[in-house]
Amino acid sequence: MTTIPAARDVRTTPEGILWAPSERWVRGRTGEITVVDSTNPVLVWEPGVPVPLYAFPRGDVREDLLRPAKNPRTGTHTGSRIFYDIELDGVLLENAAWTFPVDDLAGHIAFEWFRRAGRGLEHWYEEEDEIFIHPRDPYKRVDAIPSSRHVRIEIDGTLVADTHRPVLLFETGLPIRYYMPREDVRLELFQPSDLSTGCPYKGTATYWAWRGDGDEPADLVWSYPEPLPAVAPVKDLLAFYNEAVDITVDGERLDRPVTPFTSKRPGRA
């Protein structure tokens, strides 16, 4: 379900796409080649997609690098009208750009971000700040606040963490995440994972998997060794997926929430 931003400048198309003009200076590039450079991007929220993407006026795009897609994708990006491959130094980035079949976005081109889709442009910048995975949603907040609540974490009845000094991370659209000092977590019950994920709000996370029995999802626990400045208080702390463990806060057992992480292997926290 798409999160609907509550702002006067957000428009809705008959196809269910939400979009809003952005005043940020945005560039996308691979290697030393800048493919798009715009101070007039628009943010686009597709139906059923919880995070936004950017689309850009054609005049801000290096259209000389675009080629009609050899094998255009189907069933993606809200009935995309035209897909493009991007040719950079003889390398073809397939289906890396497309247009939307909606009047409001006529004359705009959207792009895949490599770190989100595994294809597309490698580096993206808002002003001089490099952004990873997808654009930051201006209608979303992420706050990391130290607390003295008593938080206990159990997995299949086994106490795995107990702290009176958590950092609570409040992120629009997600349950509270309880970040805990390592010395308050029985980390010997977990094993390091090779999973690493990026978040445009928090940084790059590393993960641990449960060593015990049961059908718990892999990569239940994560940490941000070098978080972005906005969430600096969570540095090196550990958090658990509320969707897969039992959390008790000040003596009250929390219900397990239903989120995009409930029914699939966790991929981003």
Summarised one tens digit per residue, pLDDT across range 182-201 is 999 999 999 999 999 999 99
Mean pLDDT of the chain: 90
Same domain? For 16 and 127 the reply is yes
pLDDT at 1: 44
Average of pLDDT values for 49-58? 93
Predicted confidence (pLDDT) at residue 265 exceeds the cutoff of 50 = no
Q: State how far the Cα of 78 lies from the Cα of 94, in Å rounded to an integer.
A: 18
Predicted confidence (pLDDT) at residue 32 exceeds the cutoff of 70 = yes
Q: Per the domain annotation, does 120 fall within a domain?
A: yes
What domain range is 221 assigned to? 142-253
Domain termination residue (choose one: 69, 98, 131): 131
Predicted confidence (pLDDT) at residue 216 exceeds the cutoff of 80 = no
Residue with more model confidence, 264 or 191: 191
Q: Per the domain annotation, does 263 fall within a domain?
A: no
Predicted confidence (pLDDT) at residue 269 exceeds the cutoff of 60 = no
Same domain? For 24 and 123 the reply is yes
Same domain? For 50 and 77 the reply is yes
What is the domain count for the chain?
2
Q: The domain that contains 173 carries what CATH number?
A: 2.170.150.40
Predicted confidence (pLDDT) at residue 167 exceeds the cutoff of 70 = yes
Confidence grade of residue 268 (pLDDT, cut at 50, 70, 90): very low
How many residues are there in the chain? Answer: 269
Q: Are strands 42-45 and 53-57 parallel, antiparallel or unpaired?
A: antiparallel
Average of pLDDT values for 222-235? 96
Residue with more model confidence, 64 or 76: 64
pLDDT at 155: 94
Same domain? For 32 and 110 the reply is yes
Q: Per the domain annotation, does 219 fall within a domain?
A: yes
Confidence grade of residue 29 (pLDDT, cut at 50, 70, 90): very high
Residue with more model confidence, 187 or 214: 187
Decide: 190 and 221 in contact? Cβ < 8 Å: yes
Q: Tens of pLDDT along 76-121?
A: 777 668 999 999 998 999 999 999 988 899 999 999 998 887 789 9
Give strand pairing partners of 86. Answer: 66, 93
Confidence grade of residue 222 (pLDDT, cut at 50, 70, 90): very high
Same domain? For 30 and 114 the reply is yes
Q: Per the domain annotation, does 136 fall within a domain?
A: no
pLDDT at 267: 44
pLDDT at 74: 75
Same domain? For 105 and 150 the reply is no
pLDDT at 261: 78
Q: State how far the Cα of 88 lies from the Cα of 53, in Å rounded to an integer.
A: 22
Same domain? For 79 and 162 the reply is no
pLDDT at 4: 47
| Token pair in block for residue 172 | 């629009």
pLDDT at 5: 47
